[in-house]
């Protein structure tokens, strides 16, 4: 298990003095990325093979939204490893050790040059330290779009500030963009994100919104290809 400590600061708060979901996702993402430093053999293998781990799906349960100046601890642990995919829990805890956010995610192992899935050898998989799978309400990684016609909105341009060091639209920015399309009174208690085709600088993402019961699903497409699907739950 790998962990990082954070404090809820002004730049991570919304207008009500509560931690933005976008900021919480960035904390989770940073902790997950830094985790590889705790596995030297895996880090060396990925470096030698010119490989990266890219987020394919994430589910988040929001238990309580932290407030300004709260001390937080983000932990991440891998509970499953396959030749081309890894599975992890990333939780955010408050100062009393109570979970505020529970998440699980699946990462895909990719060749940086070819941009395609690449297998990790058995020796590296065996060297991994796997942790127990943590308790949460696990849902399917695939998000099925409703058969009903959704509402198509104006395209969103991918800007320079949206790109991370993988030269793709940063994972948290998909959610940030989609949240701007939610009704102001929609309180997010959970979400799932399925990443399909990485958006790059200059791409235009066309949002399509589907409203169903207590959920809103937003797909973001580049032309005819779905880039990501985000499901927000009340």
Q: What pLDDT was estimated at residue 63?
A: 98
* DSSP code at position 12: G
pLDDT tens-digit map of 103-129: 999 999 999 888 899 999 998 888 888
Q: Where are the domains of the chain?
A: 2-127, 151-233
Helical (H) or strand (E) element with 7: strand 2-7
Q: What pLDDT was estimated at residue 213?
A: 87
The CATH superfamily holding the domain 151-233 is Hotdog Thioesterase (3.10.129.10)
Looking at domain 2-127, its CATH class is alpha beta
Terminal alpha carbon distance of the chain = 30
Beta-bridge partner residues of 163: 169
2-127 and 151-233 have identical folds: yes
Handedness of CA 175, 23, 52, 79 (dihedral sign): negative
Got the DSSP string for 139-199?
A: --S--PPPSS--EE---EEPPGGGB-TTSSB-HHHHHHHHHTTS-TT----EEEEEE-S--
Q: What pLDDT was estimated at residue 39?
A: 85
**CA pair distance 162, 175, nearest whole angstrom:** 12
Degrees, nearest 5: CA angle 25-62-7: 55
pLDDT tens-digit map of 193-204: 999 999 999 999
Q: Which residues of the chain carry a pLDDT beneath 70?
A: none
Q: Where are the alpha helices (DSSP H) in the chain?
A: 21-34, 40-48, 122-127, 171-179
Q: Which of 25, 158, 6 is nearest to 68 (CA)?
A: 6
Q: What is the dihedral of CA 40, 29, 63, 57, to 10 degrees?
A: -100
Q: What pLDDT was estimated at residue 3?
A: 95
Q: What pLDDT was estimated at residue 6?
A: 96
Report how far apart, in Å, the C-alpha atoms of 146 and of each of 118, 205, 215, 230 are: 32, 19, 11, 13
């Amino acid at each position: 298990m790998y962990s990082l400590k954070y404090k809820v600061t002004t730049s991570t708060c919304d207008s009500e003095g509560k931690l933005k979901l976008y900021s919480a996702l960035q904390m989770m993402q940073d902790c997950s990325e830094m985790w590889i430093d705790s596995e030297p053999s895996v880090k060396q293998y990925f470096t030698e093979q010119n490989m990266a781990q890219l987020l394919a799906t994430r589910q988040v349960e929001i238990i309580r939204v932290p407030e300004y100046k709260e001390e937080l601890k983000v932990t991440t642990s891998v509970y499953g490893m396959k030749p081309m995919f890894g599975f992890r829990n990333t939780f955010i805890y408050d100062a009393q050790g109570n979970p505020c956010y529970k998440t699980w995610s699946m990462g895909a192992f990719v060749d940086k040059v070819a941009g395609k899935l690449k297998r990790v050898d058995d020796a590296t998989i065996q060297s991994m330290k796997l942790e127990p799978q943590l308790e949460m309400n696990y849902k399917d990684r695939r998000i099925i779009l409703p058969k009903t016609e959704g509402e198509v909105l104006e395209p969103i341009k991918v800007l320079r500030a949206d790109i991370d060091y993988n030269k793709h639209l940063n994972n948290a920015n998909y959610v940030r963009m989609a949240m701007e399309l939610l009704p102001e009174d929609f309180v997010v208690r959970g979400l799932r994100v399925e990443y399909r085709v990485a958006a790059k600088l200059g791409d235009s993402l066309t949002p399509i919104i589907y409203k169903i019961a207590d959920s809103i699903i937003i797909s973001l497409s580049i032309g005819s290809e779905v880039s990501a699907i985000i499901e927000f739950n009340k």
